[in-house]
């Protein structure tokens, strides 16, 4: 009877959320794929940074011959725009994480009311950001394929971060991906698929986290460290350290800072819960002791 009851509750939860329907499945797949644009941006920036290094040091192409137009555009114009877009999302995530709980809840409630308001300025901004990310990532991937960057596996240049640093960066990247999905991806998909704002479901969170974990395990955990070591490698080899190298280093440690804020807030939350439980236990013991004293007096 107990198993049947739990199965009945699970089926009711899934069907009430509407995910078994084709529209629900399409919604889940779309939000999951679009939420991966931000971690793909980090992977692409690391790949393009490695491509610029190889062109500077190993002379893949003869200097007299001009680079292909799409490769030149992907290596010089595209990273600047993508660095700017990723910086916007990362800074917004850091501010979001440093705010108090009340302000965060008000921000979430205001984000859910975007689509219901007549003035959809935020929705237009979300569309601009999403289209810009898609264009930059598509152009960067095409330019990377033309350059043949994926034929080379030495992306970390022998300088690997510690396991703790990697885990904290993953926490920060997950937090940034959540902010990107909540304030950019979901308003657009809600308006396109359903026409109204919908509450975020647990299936969406699990799917986005699992997809990020797969991407992290596949390539991102090794190649993203190119952003933080590129400046050091170029300085050691007496190559020109560009502004993009510094911005990549800054973005990496800014994401690590976001992860540290998340870890600290999690530890503080656990401590507060443990203190509240201990205080409740002490109060219950005092109340029970007072009751026993009253019984003895009687």
Span 115-158, pLDDT tens digits: 444 447 888 899 999 999 999 998 888 877 776 655 544 455 65
Q: Tens digits of per-residue pLDDT, 198-250?
A: 777 888 889 999 999 999 988 888 888 888 888 777 777 777 778 888 899 99
CA distance 237 to 219: 26
Query: In this structure, which long-range contacts are made by residues 163-166, counting pairs with CB atoms below 8 Å and at least 24 apart in sequence?
Result: 165/256, 166/221
CA distance 93 to 86: 11
Contact 245/231 with Cβ under 8 angstroms? yes
CA distance 150 to 210: 24
- Which residues contact residue 146 at a Cβ distance below 8 angstroms, ignoring those fewer than 6 apart? 68, 70, 71, 74
Contact 152/50 with Cβ under 8 angstroms? yes
Q: Tell me what pLDDT residue 222 has.
A: 82
Residue 138 CB: number of other CB atoms within 10 A? 13
| Across 82-86, 246-250, 281-285, least confident range | 281-285
Contact 129/201 with Cβ under 8 angstroms? no
Give the CA angle between residues 111, 116, 118 to the nearest 5°.
110
Phi, psi of 152, rounded to the nearest 5 degrees: -115, 130
- Tell me what percent of the residues of the chain surpass a pLDDT of 70: 70
Q: Tell me what pLDDT residue 92 has.
A: 92
Please count the helices (runs of H) and the strands (runs of E) in the chain: 13, 0
pTM value > 0.75: yes
Q: Tens digits of per-residue pLDDT, 14-32?
A: 445 544 688 888 899 999 9
Report which of residues 131 and 5 the model is more confident about.
Answer: 131
The label of the residue with tokens 């198993």 reads 3
């Amino acid at each position: 009877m107990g198993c049947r009851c739990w199965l009945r509750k699970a089926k009711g939860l899934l069907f009430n959320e509407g995910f078994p329907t084709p529209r629900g499945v399409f919604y889940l797949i779309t939000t999951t794929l679009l939420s991966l644009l931000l971690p793909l941006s980090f992977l692409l920036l690391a790949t393009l940074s490695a491509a610029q290094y190889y062109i500077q040091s190993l002379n893949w192409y003869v200097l007299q011959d001009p680079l292909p137009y799409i490769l030149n555009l992907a290596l010089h114009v595209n990273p600047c725009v993508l660095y700017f877009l990723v910086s916007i999302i990362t800074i917004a995530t850091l501010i979001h994480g440093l705010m108090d709980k009340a302000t965060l809840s008000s921000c979430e409630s205001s984000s859910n009311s975007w689509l219901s308001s007549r003035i959809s300025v935020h929705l237009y901004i979300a569309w601009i950001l999403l289209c810009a990310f898609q264009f930059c990532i598509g152009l960067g991937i095409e330019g990377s394929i033309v350059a043949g960057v994926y034929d080379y596996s030495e992306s970390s240049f022998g300088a690997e971060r510690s396991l703790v640093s990697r885990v904290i960066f993953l926490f920060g990247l997950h937090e940034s991906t959540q902010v990107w999905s909540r304030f950019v991806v979901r308003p657009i998909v809600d308006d396109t698929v359903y026409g109204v704002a919908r509450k975020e479901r647990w299936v969406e969170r699990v799917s986005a986290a699992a997809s990020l974990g797969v991407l992290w395990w596949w390539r991102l955990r090794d190649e993203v460290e190119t952003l933080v070591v590129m400046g050091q490698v170029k300085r050691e080899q007496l190559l020109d350290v560009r502004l993009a190298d510094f911005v990549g280093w800054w973005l990496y440690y800014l994401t690590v800072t976001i992860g540290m804020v998340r870890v600290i807030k999690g530890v503080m939350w656990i401590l507060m819960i443990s203190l509240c439980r201990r205080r409740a236990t002490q109060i219950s013991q005092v109340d029970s002791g007072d009751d026993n004293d009253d019984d003895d007096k009687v």
